[in-house]
């Protein structure tokens, strides 16, 4: 009897069972502005930062929330489950606290770091798209002082219509200029979607990493995935590549200095600007020959991406 005969069926529900978080967690910090689907495959979701009672964009609060999520981003589910089990036995929180410190040490402490954007992509993909992360790339870094060389995230689910196993290559970019952020993001994604998948390709490298480090704390799901990740198995032909992207950039709609705007005024102004961002994404995707691929792209305009980076680093170092 072959492994194809004995392997458990792979379903969308199996991946939904391991998804973490919910969209309500995000909706306290940034809300949905507009969602556009282009040509049935490219979906652009533009969100915007919410304000506090004094109409101040919640940049620092968002940064703090992201730092509270670093354990989930940096460690496989089984490692987190083991720490929680030990803490439950002892009545302490020591092992979970250790994970937080280890996770914090993995992040880059550079002013230009984009890891806050990568964390946002992780949360949006899990909590809003309901597609779980399957490879914790932070643990593969050689040093907390460098960025991981590869995609910014790897998520996976099953398409209930085709039964294909869909691998979402994640890319996150933050620039002051929206055009630069979108172009850089899709340039990076192109390498993962358009490569031939052959020996030495970026797809082969990350699929190999996924096979070697597969840890979903679910033996049945892991067993079902094995054949799909094996290039010599017929089920490998059902491995479909997709994209999940996050772009952050500056927008002058937010209040600053003497410029006062309410949250509703900010939302209305950003809504008038959103169509140009969607058109830019569409143009970039078409020019890079990415139109045949399913891509989910999140746009989040900031008062200043530099200020957001600084806020994230401050929270990372002081929590």
Residues facing 47 on adjacent strands? 32
Residues facing 300 on adjacent strands? 248
pLDDT of residue 147: 44
Is the separation of the CB atoms in 173 and 272 below 8 Å? no
* Residue 38: Cβ-neighbour burial (10 angstroms; 0-12, 13-18, 19+): middle
- Kindly report, residue by residue over 63-79, the tens digit of the pLDDT: 999 999 999 999 999 99
- Which residue in 70, 79, 124 sits closest to 246, CA to CA? 124
Residues facing 157 on adjacent strands? 166
pLDDT of residue 145: 46
Rounded (10°) angle between helices 178-194 and 202-213? 80
Helices (H), 91-166: 94-106, 115-123
Rounded (10°) angle between helices 178-194 and 263-287? 40
Sign of CA dihedral 204, 205, 211, 212: positive
- Kindly report, residue by residue over 92-149, the tens digit of the pLDDT: 999 999 999 999 998 877 666 788 999 999 999 999 999 999 998 877 754 444 445 5
Write down the domain spans for the chain.
Answer: 3-318
Which pTM was predicted? 0.90
pLDDT of residue 200: 61
């Amino acid at each position: 009897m072959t492994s194809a005969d004995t392997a458990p069926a792979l379903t969308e529900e199996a991946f939904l069972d391991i998804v973490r978080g919910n969209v309500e967690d995000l909706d306290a910090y940034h809300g949905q502005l507009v969602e556009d689907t282009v040509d049935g495959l490219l979906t652009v979701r533009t969100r915007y930062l919410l304000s506090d009672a004094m109409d101040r964009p919640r940049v620092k609060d968002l940064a703090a929330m992201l730092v509270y999520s670093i354990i989930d981003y940096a460690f496989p589910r089984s490692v987190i489950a083991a720490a929680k089990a030990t803490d439950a036995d002892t009545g302490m929180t020591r092992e979970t606290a250790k994970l937080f410190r280890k996770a914090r040490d993995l992040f880059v402490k550079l002013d230009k770091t984009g890891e806050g954007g990568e964390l946002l992509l992780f949360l949006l993909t899990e909590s809003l798209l309901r597609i779980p992360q399957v490879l914790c790339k932070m643990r593969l870094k050689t040093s907390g002082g460098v960025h991981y060389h590869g995609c910014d995230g790897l998520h996976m689910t099953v398409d209930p219509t085709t039964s294909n196993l869909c691998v979402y290559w994640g890319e996150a970019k933050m620039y002051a200029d929206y055009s630069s952020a979108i172009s850089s993001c899709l340039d990076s994604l192109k390498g993962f979607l358009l490569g031939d998948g052959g020996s030495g390709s970026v797809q082969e490298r990350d699929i190999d990493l996924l096979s070697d480090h597969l840890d979903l704390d679910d033996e049945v799901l892991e067993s079902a995935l094995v054949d799909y990740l094996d290039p010599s198995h017929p089920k490998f032909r059902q491995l479909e590549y997709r994209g999940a992207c996050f772009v952050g950039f500056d927008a002058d709609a937010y209040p600053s200095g003497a410029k006062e705007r309410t949250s509703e005024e900010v939302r209305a102004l950003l809504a008038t600007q959103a169509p140009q961002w969607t058109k830019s994404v569409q143009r970039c995707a078409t020019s890079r020959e990415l139109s045949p691929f399913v891509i989910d792209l999140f746009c989040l305009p900031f008062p200043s991406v530099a200020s957001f980076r600084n806020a994230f680093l401050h929270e990372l170092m002081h929590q």
